Homo-oligomer: A and B are copies of this chain.
Amino acid sequence: MMLSIDERESLMDYVTQLQSHQLKVTPQRLEIVDILTRYGHVSIEELYAKLQDKFPTLSLATIYKNLKMMQERSFLSEVKLAHQKSVFELQKEEHAHLVCSSCGAIVDISLDASTLISYAQSKSSYTIDYSTINLYGTCAKCQ
């Protein structure tokens, strides 16, 4: 198999990323990371479909096992969405999601939740660790 320089560099990256989360490196996992990197937000069925090309025999059980393990190792996280299926994304710093109710397109938006959190903390007796913020509307294309 002939790989471009970019492809080789990505591969190295993926290997390092997996290893830094105590995840053994398998071809299936590399491809999962590549898909998540390239698409950003992927549902289970999308992931399964995209993996078929390279791994015709790959089973859904493998996907479920991997997603579970990768979540436990804080390598990725599930984004639960109103009125649609969950998607998965690589772990990154906290951010909000912009979700198009029409086509489902999702983009990340960096957003300072600290103001929100300190406000909520001042109004309640909770100490807050993290937040999930999803904003639903219509993307440019669908308008």
Contacts and interface: CB of A to CB of B under 8 A. Distances in A.
Contact of A129 (B124, B125, B137): B137
B126 A98 contact: yes
Contact of A98 (B109, B128, B140): B128
Contacts of A26: none
Give the copy number. Answer: 2
**Looking at chain A's contact residues, is the secondary structure mostly helix, strand, loop, or mixed?**
strand
A120 to B, nearest CB: 5
A48 interface: no
A124 to B, nearest CB: 6
Interface of A: 77-78, 80-82, 96, 98, 100-101, 107, 109, 111, 116-117, 119-120, 123-140, 143
A78 B82 CA distance: 8
Contacts of A130: 135-137
B126 A100 contact: yes
